Structure 1
């Protein structure tokens, strides 16, 4: 057995789940392995490599991110030698025809669409971190690969522990055939949960009870509960003391965790380093390192500092010396030599990779990281610290989910090094022990598909298999599988409703009965009343919105209802056409923003008053003086506000329906009330059932319908030959020359890029100008801001203007076809990449891409430059115009210099 030969090469015995997975793989099955972080899932992937090599076949090992690909490549080279292992990440191509190739998942997807000859002889594909298919930006790639891989390729899918592994496995079995599902929820290194309150480190759970009976329910440690109650009681007492007095003062240590250097020192005292502290902001990570550097904290010996310096030099020796200061090199280096570092996506890749190597070697012992570190990089620690249980999710500040908590704390405990791992939450007011216990004891991390057809995907599907087979493949996706499962319950509910409706119809005398007719008439009356009521609310709100946007500074108005009713003066106007919220001060000295909800009748200026140039409404004195001035104007709020006439009062259709109802024979029937109640129950249930039907219709074949809409739009624009648009006949669509170009463009703005190439929008641009314009297709500003910068040269401004025109026309078509909208070109990186491609200094490029006076971080700059390079490469390969192809190629060479070229892996 090959398993025995493979296991003999390992320095540790296989766990049960590893052995079970490997046996299934050797027996010719595909496998889905779900296990906690650090459990050793990659051993199964390495066994797939072993099986492929001994059988004379190929194995592809795919990962979600380049850093993980680089890490896996190094591991496999160490085991099998450079001649046997290749690497493909988009940036790098090393030995691509080797029998074992490590690659990002996108690279394999592109190979499948291109029918690359490199696929010949492929027997195994390992998909590491396959739960990435839930990623809303890149997740579709995983499903595309799973659906397109030849059936004779054995798929090894490695996932974090998800709560719906059986559902995911059932789908895999449907689309890939024989698939073994192996789930292991036992961490190889036990994890202990703690809360740090001040300098005291408490166990979160009563571990003595757990030790006596491992199956017992987890109970919060009572000593922790008592301590927090005492602390909260003291805080309540202190809140009545003058500041600076009492036990530590109201703003004193009772309310704040220890400073970060003291937290790290405290963990060091307990033997809990190395530690990763998760801070949910890049600036927070950098500030934490700076705070530690201002303290006396040092976690390394002189010998370790010397070794650290050698590794730093190896990673960063090629960086231009004149850029070191702007990169923050010297502060970063000092932190490393003291054993302290940050880790986030805004760092220069060379810096980030240095931190990763030093941490794995045990030379850096305290890392402050954003949550991106938890997404696959192999950097386990003895301890994970969470400063807060709330993070910004891109739209709002939201509490951590149990799945996020589990993923973050899963980094604690190094297999083969630590006997146990530790998770520490820093206590602060508002944090409840029961809340932390709920996060720590819940294992819910459901996998939800983010798969949906794009323009590029659709054109590739059509080119490979025609319309009918493409629809069939889309309906085989995990997204549709999950949607269809949700439909099952709705269909059953509809069936139950239909039975109940039939019984109610019988009680009304059947569909031909007079009372059924009367019940339907009553329903039409009520439906029209509801419609008019909604229309009235909409009209009333719109009138209120219009009246608020027309107000001017100094206008005196009357707020008609609510706690703030009475006179108010406008301090700041707001012209937002959707939800204006002008700032006002009332005669009762309240200052705040009002909205359309405060005005059942439109706001009207009753007069005006002069205001000082600067009004500080936050100070009590200013509010008091202004309120007094407002009352002294002599303006009086009206005692009555005119009421808006209800639309129902003058609606002819409603009047006609009411007359028909009153003249119906059943209207005077003695049994009318009883039968009307039955009729109302029937009508309500009929409405609910129709809503369910609409949900089922929207869910069933939803991906295929989106695909058909995409094809109709592509047909109109000449990317596919219109056969039976929206039909089901195979081969109903042929891909045109423009379509083949689109099939090789992998970008969020794929169709817009294709349109620009097709219309010659980017002709006449020099290399630096080409880089600038192409950047608008990939760059996304971290904050909504319009700098007014439309480009540093006339050709750039002209090309961007034409590009935005094409985007506007495309958006109109997308709205008409009810398709997801292509995002607007973002001009925030245009000047920065233009300066860089022209050879200007790094500091100028970083400042040009900054926002609100803050320079862009070097790591972000490099990341965006590489994304621009990636799209420029595609333009170079696909543009119909030789001049555009040449400019794109030269632009790539111009950008790939200095910090962008260093540590490109």
Structure 2
């Protein structure tokens, strides 16, 4: 301490004070703070408490030198800080990045020969474009690593048919808005708000006239300083001309309040003349597939691809369309030859040095097409979730989901794309995956041509018209119902050797339904049932046990073998049933020794790529035993490699009988001689139902081999009772299922579109097939809006001055009263009590065009196709010539505006002169009021008399007694004082206690009471101005309706979109302005279950786990089947499962809060953990044979789930890379490698 350099201190500043000790005057000097008051009077210790004490030296050392030593000189910056002098580089100030090239060299060639004519330098107009800021095809290509699948940071290419707004269009919009109304044309509702400000003036005051913007400019141009040369009359004339300018439409405060059109029952003026409708452009062009093509080879002398057979007529017409660069839609039966069109498109792309993409609904079909097209063309590639082969090929085979991802991610493959072939388009009806087809069709760029291949569907024109309209190109539709091999349909009732030939023709090769064959089958079934009862008692042989089914199969196979009707495909709608049927045929052997040897050799060759343990799997050994006897099984539970072996052996004719599920009908062209239906009922995931015509035709179409069979044979087994004739007729002769939109909103779609400012989700919804019918007339609606806007401007202002000051409020009150009465009356007549009251003899009141409160009596109640009809006798005036006057529209020249006496229940109508009657057929909506009065009428005699009076011979005869009695009673009621004819109260008399009806009754009373307070009905100008106001209101209502139809508010999915956007905002995937945030960009990397995967990644739930555990937990994303085995999980996995369910529940609750309908239980239940243990053990290296002991799930389903799990792992890896989680990224790579082994990822036989 002695070495410290302490500065000198003034003695007066030392911390010293004087302390008086005791009372004897003793003073002491203490080290304490001076007296704060600056007084020199000594401090006293007594009796004010204990005296102060001196601070301990150790405490001072700790506080001053240890706790805060920063003031010591050893911590001076000169002792610890070093400075590095900065070297000067003046030359860096002159550095400049090289700008992008503004020009490029263009080769000029002869279009016919390709000869180089010269080289010219051309300007690059868009040198600043990139995949991250432009949707143009002119942007430069991305890096080679993104050339195939693109990147989620890329913009998609601009969708075809969706026009970008040009400068001319923007200018045109400005010109249309030249006459801007600063009071009415300004928006009052901010975007996203439900209601805006209401600037209407109270008291019904008429707003001032329109001041067009153009007139302001004209005034400014004419304005001069100094004395005006115009007199007062000229100024007034100009003001009058300005006031007569057209008036623009007043906007509604919210589009949600539009769309309800009120039709008044009172004195409707003639509507404005309808505009001349613009001719609608025809986008779908049907071609006659029956008319021959005479000059085919003259038009196309050099075919791009020559088939070894003569093309059918529909194929030739399709080839002509392809040569012309047109899009086509081919609808034909299975095995009709649709693939020929696809092959020609591929050949054209090879010739043009462009690209073709062939899409299929399932991965297995993609593999099969890859093999077939590669054999034919060679330059063919394959892109699936786990395989990428020859991605630079001219023709690429892929699933529709892969193409959708490429379109959203801006793949450079799209640049060179000429054709996209959609196979099995009728798969768009699939509830889960149908939306993918619509997304792809909407997002395809303009330069891409479309080929649609589908089974026969009834609405091909409608579907093609939708595609043509959204892409703004013609779609040529070629439909054919012709089969290359006609089909004959049979009922089979045999079940033994004696009855094995009981085939009954149900539909012949010409398509005629044979009722004779049906009744013969029913009779044969009854005969056998009666014999069974006599032999074995009353027990009925229905139910079809295992022994009964085995007998049926044995007798059927034996009969088909004798008829040379093999091979046969048996469609069975249950995987378990397929296995049972095949296993039951232990005594059946359909192969020769040579065929057995060939099957054994081929089987061994195909399975040689498997490990030794995998070759000994029970399913592998069982399948070999079946195949060597000519029996095959094909369903999703079979291992993929075994399914491919079965398919190839079937195509070679070595499989004689194949038990398959419905998916086999969606494969490549593998026809059989015969098709058998084990049943015509299937479970569709909800309940059991009969096959639809489309499903039956698709599967039955596998019967008949072109060039080998004259007819194909289709057999329906009748194991128990014969199906009903009506069900069979509907299934076989009915129309196939129409193509229906399955468009739905997904978070992935929303986020992919939101990240591109130029694309809107609303535009995607507008262009969907679901909105096709409503958007079809959008152009006509826009034209109609222009005409009505002009009509509205020509009407001029309504004169509401003076005694008509309250006309506007009166009109609003009348319209509200009429609407409320109409709604109330509709509810009344549709209620049970109301329908009981509307019986014969009930006195009712109707409101005609010219006469209010016309009484009538119901004579008859009947029903047509849609409504109940009430035949009613009403009073009317009798003309001078004795003819009956009408109470309907058009018979009276002067119409009456509704006055309070007409609207309120006063004196009912009674003819002024001679009284006559009229019979009207009324619907419930035309009845104004039910009264409490009924008459005893002879309705039949009244109706007969009315019919008799229509005969010319009896036309002048007086009415009969029954009619006279009714008319006299109605006249008597009409003569009663006002209010005597009381109406039935819906609440008190009819006992209708619904809140809506009670409020309507109260509202009617309030409105009726307000009518007496208006003065405008007393004005002599009331009628004319009222009708003008009504006509103006009708035009405005029609304009509002049309604007609603052409706006986004009319979209059926808009409420759900707003709900999903709210979910994304709450979860911070997008901000309040709709910009995609980090979580949203992560979700774009995920192909399915994007919200849950994103939350798992960003919540850090996966990072602490090892790769095996992560793979096991992610299996819940891909496993959708039911299992009875409860998985045995480790504690870590149990915690992980709990965490996943908690996150799923949190997401579900957020969705429910935002209004989405899916329940929390359903959302959480979609994540099933039945394969968690299986995947965990598989990732740890357990052999597949041991894996099968852990679960009851079939082998094929396990393989499929693990393959899809690999795609999920890659999605999570991409998400982890985006957020910078290197640890999770490495773990996902490891997890993917752990599960990709052995039989689960054995290479496809079609690709190797």
Shorter-chain TM-score category?
0.7 to 0.9
Please say if 1:264 is aligned against 2:565.
no
Please identify, of 797-806 and 351-360, the stretch whose mean Cα deviation from structure 2 is larger. Answer: 797-806
Contact 2:1069 2:1079 in 1 (8 A): yes
Please say if 1:480 is aligned against 2:480.
no
Q: Using a 3 Å threshold, how does the CA distance of structure 1 residues 886 and 7 change in structure 2: closer, same or farther?
A: closer
Contact 1:86 1:96 in 2 (8 A): yes
* SS of residue paired to 1:44: helix
Q: Using a 3 Å threshold, how does the CA distance of structure 1 residues 379 and 68 change in structure 2: closer, same or farther?
A: same
Deviation at 1:864?
0.6
Give the Cα–Cα distance (whole angstroms) in 1 for the partners of residues 425 and 820 of structure 2: 58
Contact 1:132 1:139 in 2 (8 A): yes
Give the Cα–Cα distance (whole angstroms) in 2 for the partners of residues 769 and 805 of structure 1: 18
1:761 is matched with which residue?
1101
- 1:102-121 matches, within 5 Å, as 102-121=397-416
Deviation at 1:667?
14
- 1:591-670 matches, within 5 Å, as 669-670=979-980
**Aligned with 2:751 (options 459, 462, 466):** 459
Contact 2:522 2:722 in 1 (8 A): no
Q: Using a 3 Å threshold, how does the CA distance of structure 1 residues 248 and 458 change in structure 2: closer, same or farther?
A: closer
- 1:495-644 matches, within 5 Å, as none
> 1:75-117: per-residue Cα shift (whole Å, max 9, x none)?
2211222xx2111011110111111111111111111111012
Q: Using a 3 Å threshold, how does the CA distance of structure 1 residues 393 and 337 change in structure 2: closer, same or farther?
A: same
Contact 2:1145 2:1164 in 1 (8 A): no
**Aligned with 2:487 (options 187, 191, 196):** 191
| Larger fraction in helix | 1
1:174 is matched with which residue?
469
Give the Cα–Cα distance (whole angstroms) in 1 for the partners of residues 716 and 544 of structure 2: 21
Q: Using a 3 Å threshold, how does the CA distance of structure 1 residues 754 and 786 change in structure 2: closer, same or farther?
A: farther
Please say if 1:31 is aligned against 2:322.
no
> 1:439-480: per-residue Cα shift (whole Å, max 9, x none)?
21223221112111101111111123456x331122101122
Deviation at 1:708?
2.7
- 1:83-102 matches, within 5 Å, as 84-102=379-397
Give the Cα–Cα distance (whole angstroms) in 2 for the partners of residues 181 and 197 of structure 1: 42
Contact 2:762 2:1048 in 1 (8 A): no
Deviation at 1:5?
3.7
1:501 is matched with which residue?
none
**Aligned with 2:981 (options 667, 671, 682):** 671
* SS of residue paired to 2:1169: coil
2:569 is matched with which residue?
276
- 1:728-877 matches, within 5 Å, as 733-747=1074-1088, 749-782=1089-1122, 787=1126, 789=1127, 792-819=1129-1156, 821=1158, 822-824=1163-1165, 825-848=1167-1190, 850=1191, 855-877=1192-1214
Q: Using a 3 Å threshold, how does the CA distance of structure 1 residues 516 and 812 change in structure 2: closer, same or farther?
A: same
Q: Using a 3 Å threshold, how does the CA distance of structure 1 residues 249 and 343 change in structure 2: closer, same or farther?
A: closer
Contact 2:401 2:436 in 1 (8 A): yes
1:728 is matched with which residue?
none
- 1:323-402 matches, within 5 Å, as 323-402=614-693
Give the Cα–Cα distance (whole angstroms) in 1 for the partners of residues 776 and 449 of structure 2: 26
Deviation at 1:62?
1.1
> 1:32-68: per-residue Cα shift (whole Å, max 9, x none)?
1111111111111111111111111111111111111
**Aligned with 1:882 (options 1222, 1226, 1242):** 1222
Deviation at 1:511?
6.9
* SS of residue paired to 1:112: helix
Number of aligned pairs?
A: 712
RMSD: 3.8
Q: Using a 3 Å threshold, how does the CA distance of structure 1 residues 767 and 3 change in structure 2: closer, same or farther?
A: farther
Please say if 1:220 is aligned against 2:560.
no
Q: Which has the larger radius of gyration?
A: 2
Contact 1:87 1:103 in 2 (8 A): yes
Structure 2 unmatched runs, 5+: 1-296, 495-499, 780-810, 834-931, 933-975, 1001-1040
Please identify, of 184-193 and 696-705, the stretch whose mean Cα deviation from structure 2 is larger. Answer: 696-705
Please identify, of 811-820 and 137-146, the stretch whose mean Cα deviation from structure 2 is larger. Answer: 811-820
Please say if 1:161 is aligned against 2:161.
no
Please identify, of 249-258 and 370-379, the stretch whose mean Cα deviation from structure 2 is larger. Answer: 249-258
Q: Using a 3 Å threshold, how does the CA distance of structure 1 residues 42 and 700 change in structure 2: closer, same or farther?
A: farther
Deviation at 1:520?
8.6
Deviation at 1:120?
2.2
Give the Cα–Cα distance (whole angstroms) in 1 for the partners of residues 483 and 1071 of structure 2: 55
**Aligned with 2:1066 (options 704, 712, 716):** 716
Contact 2:590 2:630 in 1 (8 A): yes
Contact 1:34 1:182 in 2 (8 A): yes
Please say if 1:432 is aligned against 2:724.
yes
Contact 2:426 2:739 in 1 (8 A): yes
1:285 is matched with which residue?
578
Please say if 1:410 is aligned against 2:701.
yes
Please say if 1:308 is aligned against 2:599.
yes
> 1:841-863: per-residue Cα shift (whole Å, max 9, x none)?
22332333x2xxxx221101100
Q: Using a 3 Å threshold, how does the CA distance of structure 1 residues 516 and 116 change in structure 2: closer, same or farther?
A: closer
2:271 is matched with which residue?
none
* Length-normalised TM-score, structure 2: 0.53
Give the Cα–Cα distance (whole angstroms) in 1 for the partners of residues 397 and 1121 of structure 2: 32
* SS of residue paired to 1:444: coil
> 1:1-34: per-residue Cα shift (whole Å, max 9, x none)?
8955447621111111111111112112111111
Contact 1:6 1:50 in 2 (8 A): no
Give the Cα–Cα distance (whole angstroms) in 2 for the partners of residues 335 and 254 of structure 1: 20
Give the Cα–Cα distance (whole angstroms) in 2 for the partners of residues 94 and 404 of structure 1: 33
Give the Cα–Cα distance (whole angstroms) in 2 for the partners of residues 758 and 793 of structure 1: 24
Please say if 1:893 is aligned against 2:1228.
no
Contact 2:680 2:690 in 1 (8 A): yes
> 1:536-589: per-residue Cα shift (whole Å, max 9, x none)?
xxxxxxxxxxxxxxxxxxxxxxxxxxxxxxxxxxxxxxxxxxxxxxxxxxxxxx
* SS of residue paired to 1:385: strand
Give the Cα–Cα distance (whole angstroms) in 2 for the partners of residues 867 and 22 of structure 1: 38
Contact 1:204 1:433 in 2 (8 A): no
* SS of residue paired to 2:1129: coil
**Aligned with 1:204 (options 505, 518, 529):** 505
Q: Using a 3 Å threshold, how does the CA distance of structure 1 residues 515 and 317 change in structure 2: closer, same or farther?
A: closer
> 1:660-703: per-residue Cα shift (whole Å, max 9, x none)?
x9xxxx999432258989x999x99x99xxxxx9x999994023
**Aligned with 2:356 (options 43, 59, 62):** 59
* SS of residue paired to 1:79: helix
Contact 2:305 2:344 in 1 (8 A): no
Give the Cα–Cα distance (whole angstroms) in 1 for the partners of residues 1183 and 742 of structure 2: 41
* Length-normalised TM-score, structure 1: 0.72
Please say if 1:140 is aligned against 2:490.
no
